[in-house]
Structures are given as C-alpha cells and as structure tokens.
Amino acid sequence: MIRKLLVANRGEIARRVFRTCRELGIETVAVYAESADPHVREADVAVAVDSFLDAERIVAAARMSGADAVHPGYGFLSENAGFARAVEAAGLIWIGPAPDAIEAMGDKIRAKKLAAAAGVPVLGGDETFPLLIKAAAGGGGRGMRVVTDPGALRTELAAAAAEAESAFGDGTVFTEPYLPEARHVEVQVLGDRHGRIWVVGDRDCSVQRRHQKIVEEAPAPGLRSRRELHRYARAVAEAVGYRGAGTVEFLVDGDRMYFLEMNTRLQVEHPVTEAVTGLDLVAWQLAIAEGRELPAEPPATTGHAVEVRLYAEDPAAGFAPQTGRLRAFGFEAPGVRVDSGVEAGSAVGVRYDAMLAKIISYGPDRASAIRLLADALRRGVVHGLTTNLGLLRAILADEDFRAGRVDTALLDRRLAAWTRPPEDHTVRKAALAAAVGSAFLAATSANVQPRIPVAWRNVPSRERTRTYRWGGAEYTVGYAGRGGRIESSWLPGVSVLSVDDQHVVLDDHGVRETYRVTVVDGGADVHGPSGAYDLHAVPRFPDPSAHLAAGSLLASMPGAVVAVHVAAGDSVRAGAPVVVLEAMKMQQTLTAPAGGVVTSLAAAVGQQVAAGDVLAVIDPGEPG
C-alpha cells in the first residue's frame, strides 16, 4: 500500500490530491518553485525544484523525502512517458497508466491511427478549409490555430509549431478539418490492472476560449448518441490496455462523432463526474496503482453538475493574461465545491497557467445546477486583478446555454454580448458606495476634527467629488449632505442610509442595498448585490509624463518577448507582425495598428514586459 505520495505538480490539482490523501491516511510531499504557494503548506513536507518539468530533480525529491509513489496531476510531466519510466525505474509507484499507453496516446497522430484500427471514426487529414492546426504532443489549446485562408497556412503552421515547442518541448503539428459548430464531448474511463474497463459517464466541454475549456458539465445535455460514444471510448481504452483514470475526447456533429484524442491522466474537469457518480477519482487512481480490482460495474449517474474555470485574464482584451496580488478571494455558497490554487494574498504571475480556481455545482437537474452556480458566482469575491468572472456569469445567463444549445464556436459568436459591461446605473451605485466609504474612513481616521460629518462642506451648495476608473470608463461621483442624509445629484433617487468602516447602505428608489467597501491604495474594492468591483481612483492632477506618443504599440499582456519582426527605421504596413509575446505558454502576435515607419523600438527577445509597456512607436505619418 502507498504510504507517502509526492505530487509532481502545484496549485489546485496538488491541493486536490492532498485532500484525498488525508482522507486515506497517506503522507504527502509537495514540490515547489515558490514557497508561498498554498499547496506547499498543505503537504506534510516539501522539496524545492527549479522547474516542474525537471523529471530528474522531481524523482530525486521523491527519494529524498521518503516518498514511495508519485502522482503527476495534469499538465507539466503528467503525459510524459519518459518521466513515468524514470519514476518506475527508481522503484517508486507511478500513479497513472503504463508508459507505453502514455506514449501511444501522447502522439495524437499515432493515437488517431490506433483509434481507427479499433473501429472508431476519426477526422480525415485532408486540407479542406477551414483547417485546425494542432500540436501532436500537447493540449490545452496550446499550439492550436484555425486557418481559413490557404495563403496564411505556412505562417500559422510556423506559429503553432513555435508555441508547441515552447509548451511541450515538441514542435510537431498536424492538421485536420475544423468543424466550428460541433460539440466537444468526452468520456471518463477507468481501467484496473486486471483488464477491467469502466466507462464512467460523459461530459460536455464545448464552451471554450482559444480552444481551451472554460465550462464543463456532466452528463452532456441532449446527447443522442451516448451509448455509441461510450462504446467507442471503451474500444480506445481497450486498444492500449488502459489502467488508471483517463479521458477519451470526441467531436460530436449531430449524429456523427469523431475521435479527437485520449488524455492519459486526470482531467481538470473531473469534479463534475465525481459529483454525478459519487466517486473519488483520485482515490481510485491510488487504489488501481496499489493493484485493487474495479467492481463489475461503475455507479449510475444521477443529477447534474456544472463547472466553470476562473482565469486571471481579461476577456474583453483578447483574453490577455493578468498579473497581480489577490486582495480578496472567496466563493463560499451552499451546494458548491471550490477547487482553487490561490487564496487572499496570493501573487499571480505569468510563469504558469492563468487558472485560479474551478467552481462546481451539483443539483438534481441541469437547471438547478446552473442556478446554484450562477448565484455562487454573483456572491463570489475576487479583488486585486482582472478575471473572467463576468464572462462566466454571462455564459450561465445565456438562453442558448441554458437550453443546452452549445457548440465549440458559441463563445466566439457571443463574446461581444457576454463581455458587455453592466448597466451604467449599477456601476454608479458601486462608485457612490466607494466614495462615501472612502470619505468615512478618511474622516474617522483624521487627527483633526474627526467628528465632522462625512459629506460636510463649507459651501453646502457644492458636492464633494471623487473620480474612479472601472472597465475603461471614468465615473466622477458627486454627493452632499442634505437634511441629515447623503444624496447625489449624480444618481437621482439614490441616497445613503448608513455608512461605517466596512459597509455602505444605499436606498435606490425605495430598495435597500448593502455594499461592502474596502478602501485600498488607489481606490476601493466594492461588493454589492450585483457582484464585485475594483474601482481605481483617478488623481485630480494627472502626471503629464504619462502621455503616450502617437503610434505607440503597447504590450497587451505581461509576458516575455519571444520574437521581434522589425528594426528601428523599417517601414511596415498595417497588420504586419511587430512583436510576439508569450505568457502562460500562450503566444500573442502584436501587429502594426497602421502603416508607417518604426521610429522607436524598445522590445528585445527575452525581455520581460508588463501590460501597457511601450514596445515600439510607429509614425503613422509616413507611408507603410
């Protein structure tokens, strides 16, 4: 039996595995590059590593700490057959399938051939546009490109290969027909060492951004071909003698279905399957590694579960990764599970994937699960950096999503509507709460005359004002004390009922609303009935040096410069590539906004940049 387990991973998956280990009485070992990460504190012992891709160092850490087993989690080395072999060669128990199975399914080109040989339909490799370029050795949307223009194929192949090389150490890519209106459906399987295969239900993962899942649910709604899909998944698992937990992924286009790939590890979205089956998939991974036999049949699926992935990114800015420190974080709600890799105070950088947490709901039916999850997201508190929380709430409120009418292009079609800012009146109330709360704190902490009322002025006819920035817009709040109440001509019909050091209570045309206000450097964090807002104070006298030169090309996200396609003095045309940035293993090409001459170039390969940094200046007055 396993006595002590090392998890060769970080973040929420490490914490998830540790949770099951505690329930089973198994000691735990963490590996880390940053000692402040929450998963480090939750392990019994921890060992530092320079990289989660350093197989030799991780095996050494297992032996140094006295671990007798290694769980890879997902990502990093989880589907690396060489790492699995190194673990077993060191006399340690590998929590996963046999290295040969990892190798067979890790190469997506080879995997498609194996699936076809097992009688499972696969997509052809013909070059019928639109085409999808995919990395042979990876997943998670990295190295993937949709090509609609044959003339762009060569450029996109090179870009996809570069991203795949960066993310997986293997730049091999291949193409297949792109079916934008198909669904992405996957089947969970478990196999033991005795040849028994379980098919443990299915999941729909169609709502994706940049080919990476953000909403998953089990079971897949409205699936007409469920039995056949499960039969195909079993055939793929049997073809490689699969053991442990794995997932067989398909594209479903009406009654047609095509094998995509097999992930030889635990999936990010495994909690929705756990919710509808009552299984602990991590516990079964460990039991299978110990040689335990699966019962004759898996448990039946009951109810419905939905999971959303919370990312540190800005959907309205091309999903640019966001960095910073979380001032507040929490999604406590009845009937909701939260698997997170962060907590209040955590620093979020560009070194790892942008996912902060997964929020999972379970209900007796799909509508109930969606309602529970939507309420948890409304009550959730995230302050300190931009996330996709608003996007997730919009998805759950969408009529097509609620009706189960989903496909892999749904997000692209709805993105503009889903990222539309909330109505102005809602934001204005949050800004008023921020202004009054900030004034109260300033008044009560003042050394001189702290009992002066919050909205008091020498000239009663003039309102006090504060200006905040949120969502790219500025809000100048005006308020004054009138007849013992604080009112705002800026928000007619809204008045302040009470204010203390944590809360502001507003009356909006007879409806009482409570806002929690935390004053921070440069603004205020506000949470009210409609959700959370980070409001940044705009200084009364802006710094004149902050003005940008015309034609400035700014970094759209924090990251590293991996390519520079121009030099100072070059003429460029509108849309020509200028700089390529990489963050969280995803690359983004910044192009010239207009034709002109590069008069200044501040970017260099290997340079770390922050969002908003000036990378180049293109004089639009010159022809390009």
**Torsion angle defined by CA atoms of residues 388, 390, 392 and 394, in that order, rounded to the nearest 10 degrees:** -150
Q: What is the CATH number of the domain that holds 592?
A: 2.40.50.100
Same domain? 207 vs 169? no
In order of 121, 443, 451, 501, 571, the CA distances from 448 in angstroms are 78, 9, 9, 18, 61
**Torsion angle defined by CA atoms of residues 50, 54, 56 and 57, in that order, rounded to the nearest 10 degrees:** 20
pLDDT at 311 over 80: yes
Distance CA 112, CA 135 (A): 13
Sign of torsion over alpha carbons 244, 358, 105, 168: negative
Do the Cβ atoms of 181 and 253 come closer than 8 Å?
A: yes
Q: What's the confidence (pLDDT) of residue 505?
A: 97
How many domains does the structure of the chain reveal?
5
Instruction: Sort strands 523-528 and 571-572 into parallel, antiparallel or unpaired.
Output: unpaired
Integer-rounded Cα radius of gyration of the chain: 27
**Torsion angle defined by CA atoms of residues 270, 272, 278 and 282, in that order, rounded to the nearest 10 degrees:** 10
Is 393 a domain residue? Answer: yes
Same domain? 372 vs 262? yes
Of 12, 7, 6, nearest in space to 353 by CA: 12
What is the residue type of 59?
V
Q: What number is the average pLDDT over the span 582-586?
A: 76
Half-sphere exposure of 120 (CA within 13 A, CB side): 29
The proportion of the chain whose per-residue pLDDT surpasses 90, expressed as a percent, equals 69
Same domain? 50 vs 158? no
Distance CA 451, CA 446 (A): 9
pLDDT at 403 over 70: yes
Q: What's the confidence (pLDDT) of residue 51?
A: 94
Which of 178, 199, 224 is where one domain is finished?
Answer: 178
Task: Please write the tens of the pLDDT for every residue from 171-200.
Answer: 888 787 787 789 999 999 999 999 999 999
Q: What is the CATH number of the domain that holds 156?
A: 3.30.1490.20
Same domain? 69 vs 82? yes
Which of 178, 202, 217 is where one domain is finished?
Answer: 178
Q: What's the confidence (pLDDT) of residue 372?
A: 97
Sign of torsion over alpha carbons 10, 13, 17, 20: positive
Q: How confident is the model at residue 624 (pLDDT cuts 50, 70, 90)?
A: very low
Q: How confident is the model at residue 544 (pLDDT cuts 50, 70, 90)?
A: low
Q: What number is the average pLDDT over the span 453-482?
A: 78
Domain with 84, as residue range(s), is 4-95
The proportion of the chain whose per-residue pLDDT surpasses 70, expressed as a percent, equals 93
Q: Where are the alpha helices (DSSP H) in 409-462?
A: 410-418, 424-444
Same domain? 218 vs 324? yes
Neighbouring residues of 14: CB distance < 8 A, sequence distance ≥ 6: 7, 30, 39, 42, 43, 73, 341
Distance, CA of 417 to chain centre:
20
Structure tokens, 90: 């060191």
Distance CA 322, CA 316 (A): 12
Q: What are phi and psi of 360, to 5 degrees?
A: -125, 135
Distance CA 93, CA 70 (A): 6
Q: What is the CATH number of the domain that holds 25?
A: 3.40.50.20
196 vs 620: which has the higher pLDDT: 196
Same domain? 253 vs 371? yes
Q: How confident is the model at residue 541 (pLDDT cuts 50, 70, 90)?
A: low
Cis peptide before 130 (omega within 30 of 0): yes
144 vs 497: which has the higher pLDDT: 497
Is 624 a domain residue? Answer: no
pLDDT at 21 over 90: yes
Q: What number is the average pLDDT over the span 539-568?
A: 79
Of 370, 365, 364, 329, nearest in space to 348 by CA: 329
Do the Cβ atoms of 413 and 436 come closer than 8 Å?
A: no
Cis peptide before 219 (omega within 30 of 0): yes
Structure tokens, 404: 């189960």
Neighbouring residues of 472: CB distance < 8 A, sequence distance ≥ 6: none
Do the Cβ atoms of 570 and 557 come closer than 8 Å?
A: no
Same domain? 215 vs 344? yes
Same domain? 174 vs 184? no
Q: What is the mean pLDDT of the chain?
A: 91
Same domain? 275 vs 370? yes
pLDDT at 441 over 80: yes
Q: What's the confidence (pLDDT) of residue 136?
A: 72
Distance CA 94, CA 531 (A): 44
Same domain? 191 vs 307? yes
Q: How confident is the model at residue 159 (pLDDT cuts 50, 70, 90)?
A: confident
Indicate the burial class of 14 (C-beta count within 10 angstroms; 0-12, 13-18, 19 or more). Answer: buried
Is 260 a domain residue? Answer: yes
Half-sphere exposure of 314 (CA within 13 A, CB side): 18
Same domain? 283 vs 411? yes
273-302: burial string, b at 16+ Cβ within 10 Å, e else: bbbbbebbbbebbbbbbeeeebeeebeebe
Q: What is the CATH number of the domain that holds 307?
A: 3.30.470.20
Q: What are phi and psi of 553, to 5 degrees?
A: -100, 115
Q: What number is the average pLDDT over the span 308-324?
A: 93
- pTM of the predicted protein model: 0.86
Q: Where are the alpha helices (DSSP H) in 303-361?
A: none
Structure tokens, 549: 């030169």
Same domain? 330 vs 244? yes
DSSP reduced 3-state for 273: helix
Task: Please write the tens of the pLDDT for every residue from 232-267.
Answer: 999 999 999 999 999 999 999 988 999 999 999 999
pLDDT at 623 over 70: no
Is 244 a domain residue? Answer: yes
List, in sequence order, every residue forming a beta bridge with 183; answer none if it has no partner.
252
pLDDT at 455 over 60: no
pLDDT at 275 over 90: yes
Q: What's the confidence (pLDDT) of residue 585?
A: 65
Do the Cβ atoms of 552 and 613 come closer than 8 Å?
A: no
pLDDT at 217 over 80: yes
Sign of torsion over alpha carbons 596, 600, 606, 607: negative
Q: What number is the average pLDDT over the span 607-619?
A: 89
Is 385 a domain residue? Answer: yes
Which of 537, 558, 576 is where one domain is finished?
Answer: 537
Is 615 a domain residue? Answer: yes
